[in-house]
Amino acid sequence: MKDRPFVHINCAATADGKIAAPDGSPLDISTIWDRRRVHRLRASLGAVLVGAGTVSADDPKLTVNPSYAGVSRDICKIVMDGRGRIDPASKSLRTNGRSIVVTTEAADAVWLGNFRRLEESLDMKVMVLEGGPDIDIDRCWSCLLEDGISGVLVEGGSDTIFNILRSGSFDMFSVFMAPIVMGGRGPTITGGIGFEGAPLRLHLRSVVQPPGGGILLEYVSSMP
């Protein structure tokens, strides 16, 4: 038995690897087929995680839409926010299901005080990890596991995907690539500081050409 939840990283990208418009605003990349797949994944894993940048840029609902998933289920919404910068008024914290904001001891004290007060009125928990502002991914996974989280769908953005890939503590990485090109200097599938030496090697598990266009690439972190 693993000492962390099952971690599946997923994102939707253009054929040129962009995950948003050049100004960082959301881009409609997924097809209906892909939305169904993602909402089913959310429902089956039970938790979805994004970085503070995605909450600030998109403020997504992070819920299961029964018309896509075919089931109705409240899931846990997790935000990685090492410095404590997301807006307490974020919609992401107010949609159905409980929320966990993972932060560190480096978080701003006023921000932390505001979020502690919110814990009393919202179904929300602030998890403060030692050190910071960088969140130790393995420590984060073990705290989430202790909190009953057994599976996580990581949905972005760019920096968060890189940080988790770099940690090596994930099981699957899937990218839906739509047959569209965005160009520009908007966020790509991974950002972060990049690897200094050799790049991370993934293992391709499957390639799917779904109805409605695009291509789904599914990688695993290691071969069984």
Ligand X SMILES: NC(=O)c1ccc[n+]([C@@H]2O[C@H](COP(=O)([O-])OP(=O)(O)OC[C@H]3O[C@@H](n4cnc5c(N)ncnc54)[C@H](OP(=O)(O)O)[C@@H]3O)[C@@H](O)[C@H]2O)c1
**Residues contributing to the site for ligand X (CB under 6 A):** 11-12, 19-20, 24, 26, 29, 50-54, 57-58, 80-83, 85, 133-135, 137, 155-160, 163, 187, 191
CB of 197 to ligand X, least distance (A): 20
- Report the C-alpha gap between 160 and 190 in whole angstroms: 8
CB of 148 to ligand X, least distance (A): 21
- Report the C-alpha gap between 116 and 124 in whole angstroms: 9
Report the residue number, 25 or 150, with the smaller CB distance to ligand X. 25
CB of 211 to ligand X, least distance (A): 20
Report the residue number, 25 or 120, with the smaller CB distance to ligand X. 25
Report the residue number, 1 or 161, with the smaller CB distance to ligand X. 161
CB of 204 to ligand X, least distance (A): 19
Instruction: Name residue, tokens 């840029």.
Output: 57
- Report the C-alpha gap between 182 and 113 in whole angstroms: 40
Report the residue number, 51 or 151, with the smaller CB distance to ligand X. 51
Our measurement of the distance from residue 76's CA atom to the centroid of its chain's CA atoms, rounded to an integer in Å, reads 12
Residue 54: which residues within 8 A CB-CB, separation 6 or more?
60, 155, 156, 157, 160
